């Protein structure tokens, strides 16, 4: 899906969970403390990625897993 780049309009704190999805797929993730984050993308693909702190990382994410996630202070941007 290609969309124009636009700013994040709002964000919510994310509590990682191995079975619960976010209320809807977010456009980006931000972490307060860098580390690995295991995610399920909007298309169902699961991956573990390293996210640097203090930056919005553009990705369509539906779930943030608690298992294999070391980063903290996670926020989903919409």
- Average of per-residue pLDDT across 24-49: 98
Question: Nearest-CA neighbor of 66 among 23, 32, 24, 35?
Answer: 35
Mean pLDDT across the stretch 63-77?
98
Backbone dihedral region for residue 70 (phi beyond 0: left; psi -120 to 50: alpha; all else: beta): alpha
* pLDDT for 9 beyond 80: yes
Read off the pLDDT band of 45 (50, 70, 90): very high
pLDDT at residue 2 in the model: 53
Instruction: Give the tokens for residue 28.
Output: 């980006």
Residue 3 — very low, low, confident or very high, per pLDDT cuts 50/70/90? low
Q: pTM (2 decimals)? A: 0.91
């Amino acid at each position: 899906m290609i969309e124009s780049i636009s700013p994040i309009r709002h964000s919510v704190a994310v509590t990682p969970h191995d079975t619960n999805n976010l209320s809807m797929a977010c456009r980006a993730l931000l972490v307060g403390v860098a580390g690995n984050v295991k995610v399920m993308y909007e298309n169902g693909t699961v991956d573990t990625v390293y996210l640097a702190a203090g930056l919005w990382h553009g990705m369509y994410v539906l779930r943030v897993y608690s298992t294999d996630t070391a980063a903290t202070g996670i926020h989903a941007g919409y």
